Amino acid sequence: MLKGPLALVVLVALALAGAEIRRRLRARGVGAPALESFLFVGIGIGLGSLGLGMFPDTVVLTLRPVVLLGVTWIGLVVGLQLDFRVLGRLQAWHRWVGLGVPAAAGAVVAAGSLLAGHPPHEVVLLAAVAMLASPRVVLLLARTAAPSDRAAMRLLKLVMALSSIPAVVLFGAATGLAGAGGGSLTQALGGGERLLLMVGLAVVLGYATIVLLAGERTLVHILAVLIGVTALSAGAALLLGGEPMLMAMIAGAVVMNRCRFPHRILRAAHGLEMPMLVALLVLLGAWWRAEAFPWTVLLLLVVVRGAALLALGWATASMARRRGVAVHRSDLGAGLLPQGPLTLAILIASVAHGQTAPAIGEAVFAAMLANHLLGWLWTRRVLFKKAGATGGEEP
């Protein structure tokens, strides 16, 4: 079994190697974006206590700085993609659909988990996970075939693009209000005060990033500043007992919407996104150990979430038709079933706060596999079943 420093070296080597292999495969036109997250988690399982035993069961706590830095970086990337100018150009019903569908799915799963007797922190985790939908399957299939219902695909992509906002806000706000941990300076603060302080610090860090990167064009310098801001966000969230992913997302959103050339910063942030993500996924796999499987979690995230998305998809299609958009598929909610790496990032962030049992993580991962398979089948056989068809108007 590897000790802390050696485990860190091995983890960094795996993260860099995984990102480089992925880059080279993509350069040759080879890759399976929708399956890569599962592959890296599987590598972590093979190296953890369920496999070779190279990493200890407490690897997430042992390497907590890596976890904090990784989830904060993921939050920063999410924030750098939140262009409110683009959101402002959308019609009002587009925003209602894009934010309302994920929020409603999360509310249904939250209600089910409360009825099932889950503690509050698990209710928040399951609700945040239920909100997330990944566009990877749709984007991958769109490279090789045209959708049979273009309007339905555009509505799906809209919801997928915005689903990260309510999920990260819910998870981050609930963590901040709960105040898991925190330094001595914030022990006297209430949950609302702590959350407001986190938001204020995040805004300050966002504007500080803009000032420090004003006129900067060198990739190395941009990355150095972003790493420093990420570390400050993670440290501040740790002292406040909050969630660094939310702080980083707010800071990234400030940069995206107030900086003159934000896309240069976003490209630099994407450069380290994959190594950070690989490290988190390997740690997640190594953290698991055999425990009783919670079937209620699988039921909530597959059956209950799936039924909610189908109903919400039907309502969305009806709303679009009333506004003159020719959506032919009423079952488009099935296209929202697949979930991406942000889901696992939220899961490991919950693990880092010491709030999640390995059995819950195992059930969330199993639900992701099931949702991915079901969503892939629907998208491949229904949405892209007629290559070359372009039915439907743009919403």
Would you list the domain boundaries of the chain? 4-26+33-383
Q: Give per-residue pLDDT as tens, 305-321.
A: 999 999 999 999 999 99
Nearest to 280 by CA among 352, 377, 330, 213: 352
Residues written for the chain: 395
> How confident is the model at residue 250, as a pLDDT?
92
More confident residue, 238 or 205: 205
Least confident of 163-167, 176-180, 326-330: 176-180
Checking if the pLDDT of 395 tops 50, the result is no
pLDDT of residue 87: 85
- The residue-averaged pLDDT of 290-313 equals 90
Q: What is residue 291's predicted lDDT score, i.e. its pLDDT? A: 67
Instruction: Tell me the per-residue pLDDT of 117-160, one tens digit each, with 9 for 90 and over.
Output: 899 989 999 999 999 998 888 888 888 888 888 888 999 999 99
The percent of residues in the chain predicted with pLDDT above 70, rounded, is: 88
Q: What is the pLDDT of residues 9-59, one digit of tens each?
A: 777 777 777 777 777 766 666 555 556 677 777 888 777 777 677 777 677
Q: What is the mean pLDDT of residues 363-382?
A: 90
User: What pLDDT is stored for residue 184 in this prediction?
Assistant: 47
pLDDT of residue 216: 76
pLDDT at 110: 95
Q: Is residue 142 within 8 Å of 389, Cβ to Cβ?
A: no
At residue 325, the pLDDT reads 86
For 35, counting Cβ atoms within 10 Å of its Cβ (0-12 exposed, 13-18 middle, 19+ buried), the class is middle
Predicted pLDDT at 12: 75
Q: What distance in Å separates the CA atoms of residue 307 and residue 105, rounded to the nearest whole number?
A: 9
Q: Is the pLDDT of residue 278 over 90?
A: no
Residue 148 · residue 382 · CB < 8 Å: yes
Lowest mean pLDDT among 107-111, 213-217, 218-222, 318-322: 213-217
pLDDT grade, residue 389 (50/70/90)?
very low
Listed ranges 308-312, 325-329, 347-351; the one with the highest mean pLDDT:
308-312
pLDDT at residue 2, rounded to an integer: 61
Average pLDDT over residues 187-203: 79
- Is pLDDT at 387 greater than 70 in this prediction? no
Arch. (CATH architecture) of 4-26+33-383: Up-down Bundle (1.20)
- Taking all residues of the chain, what is their mean pLDDT, rounded to a whole number? 82
**Residue 391: pLDDT band with limits 50, 70, 90:** very low
CA distance 219 to 163: 29
What share of the chain has pLDDT > 90, as a percent? 25
pTM: 0.86
